[in-house]
Amino acid sequence: MVPTLTQSKDAQPKDDHLVPQVGSDEQLMLDYQAGDISAFETLYRKHKGYFVSLFRSPNT
């Protein structure tokens, strides 16, 4: 059996550096996971160049 970690809604992280910063990719993904479509749109705009480069031909 694999152990799982559970965290109550009111639990606070012990290390502040582990808390996603507002506007960070991590926070945007958490927001998107919670149903905020605009968070995904923000992430896409932020990294659009990278996404497009994945599909470009190496000869262009």
Each domain of the chain, given as residue ranges in start order, spans 19-54
| Residues whose CB falls within 8 Å of the CB of residue 27, separated by 6 or more in sequence, listed in order | 20, 21
pTM of the full structure? 0.54
What pLDDT does residue 9 have? 54
Give me the amino acid identity at 19: V
Give pLDDT, residue 20. 66
**Cβ–Cβ < 8 Å for 39, 29:** yes
Mean pLDDT by 10 residues, the chain (60 residues): 51 59 88 95 90 78
Q: Is the dihedral of CA 42, 45, 50, 54 positive or negative?
A: positive
Contacts of 30 (CB under 8 A, 6+ apart): 20
Per-residue model confidence (pLDDT) at position 50:
84
Provide the pLDDT for residue 5: 47
